[in-house]
Homo-oligomer: A and B are copies of this chain.
Amino acid sequence: MAGSTYGTIFKITTWGESHGKGIGVVIDGCPSGIPLCEDDIQKYLNRRKPGQSKFSTPRKEDDKVEILSGVFEGKTTGTPISLVVMNTSQRSGDYSEIASYYRPGHADYTFDMKYGFRDYRGGGRSSGRETIGRVAAGAVAAKVLEILGVEIHAYTRAIGDFVVTDEYFNMDDVFSNPLYMPSGKVADDAAAYIEKVREESDSLGGIAECIATGIPAGIGEPVFEKLDANLSKALVSIGSVKAFEIGDGIKVAKMLGSENNDSFTTADGKITKSTNHAGGTLGGISDGSDIVLRAYIKPTPSIFKTQHTINKNNENIDINIKGRHDPIIVPRAVVVVEAMTAITILDMMLLNMSSNIENIKKIYC
């Protein structure tokens, strides 16, 4: 239970280090009969690739995915889908120095405390490259969800103080700027600010938001396996995420019940809620509204300013981190948030199938 497996029915297992031979994921429990090819996955991976804009690291990573099993004649067979991305552009020479000390904000120290030593090259298993497996699996989950009428979209809601307010929000803008912000205007301003922060050898944080539509009411389990609880774990399990919200989130602490409750209403035989403060769940179960999530992401811990830390000889030292590092994690994390949301929602939809006898009879009687 080193925790590289996630999900109950749609179950993924990721593996790989930044500078090992490759990174991959095995998806077990994907239903048979889903059309799937490498392009379906590659287009998701491309969204997390660095080197696409000046705001992300200039490393060239091809990150070409290969399907090794579980697909036959263009469709999933129901057996494990093994996906691999071989590492091609890693230069181990860059990382020899960091073997000797513990970088602030990184997992160097905690890995050593847990395991006794670590693969220090490029962060090893704690590198952002670990998310390749998540994104590849998320692409497959999205293919299944599409058949079921569920769509999931994530984007950058804020970078530092640059927040896309509802007024400026335009989903069409998301793919037209390298920050994946739903506002070209805010994206331009944020870009200028990122540039300024980078010149100051610093980094900055932001907010990724995710909306899932088309989920029927009734998904999620009422106690520990609440839909929102699992989505919370899904998002906080992504490196650098320090807070999670659903719906009005932190605002509920200052709201009155009369402001926070969503009224049910019916028209033309269709039940809706007049508002969606809840963000799509009640009692941990989907209510048929959009699921609305937010992940608060910390600034890149690798900064180029001089920092204080300790080395493996337990001495106080000052360090200057070198190498290629994004000044901001958020834009590349957006697709990871989307992937983890897709995997979690699909898994809970599959788990829900047996919740009542009428559903079971549809299959067996």
Given contacts A107-B283, A230-B233, 4 further A-B pairs with CB under 8 A are A31-B359, A115-B356, A148-B364, A363-B363
B222/A107 in contact, CB under 8 A: yes
Which of A102, A225, A246, A298 gathers most chain B CB within 10 Å?
A298
A300 / chain B contacts, CB cutoff of 8 Å: 257
The answer, yes or no, to whether A11 is at the interface (CB within 8 Å) is yes
* Given known A-B contacts A107-B283, A223-B14, A316-B266, A125 and B77 have beta carbons under 8 A apart: yes
A68 / chain B contacts, CB cutoff of 8 Å: 15-16, 20-22, 24, 84
Separation in Å of the A341 CB from the closest CB of chain B? 14
B-contacting 9-mer, from A49-57, A165-173, A174-182, A234-242:
A234-242
A251-305 contacts to B (CB < 8 Å): 252-266, 269, 271, 274, 278-279, 281-288, 296-303, 305
Partner of A3, one of B222, B250, B260, B269: B222
A334 / chain B contacts, CB cutoff of 8 Å: none
The answer, yes or no, to whether A91 is at the interface (CB within 8 Å) is no
The answer, yes or no, to whether A192 is at the interface (CB within 8 Å) is no
Q: What are 27 A-B contacts with C-beta separation under 8 Å?
A: A1-B8, A1-B11, A2-B222, A3-B226, A4-B80, A4-B224, A15-B28, A17-B72, A20-B72, A24-B82, A32-B116, A72-B118, A77-B117, A77-B118, A77-B125, A78-B114, A104-B261, A148-B365, A160-B254, A203-B256, A205-B255, A228-B242, A232-B236, A255-B298, A264-B308, A266-B316, A353-B359
Which range holds the interface residue count of chain A? Answer: 35 or more
Give the residue name and chain of the B residue nearest to A252 (CB). Answer: B298
Partner of A355, one of B2, B149, B228: B2
The answer, yes or no, to whether A95 is at the interface (CB within 8 Å) is no
**Complex CA–CA separation, A252 to B230 (angstroms):** 22
B252/A243 in contact, CB under 8 A: yes
A316 / chain B contacts, CB cutoff of 8 Å: 265-266
A229/B224 in contact, CB under 8 A: no
Which of A124, A207, A219, A252 gathers most chain B CB within 10 Å?
A252
**Complex CA–CA separation, A206 to B260 (angstroms):** 13
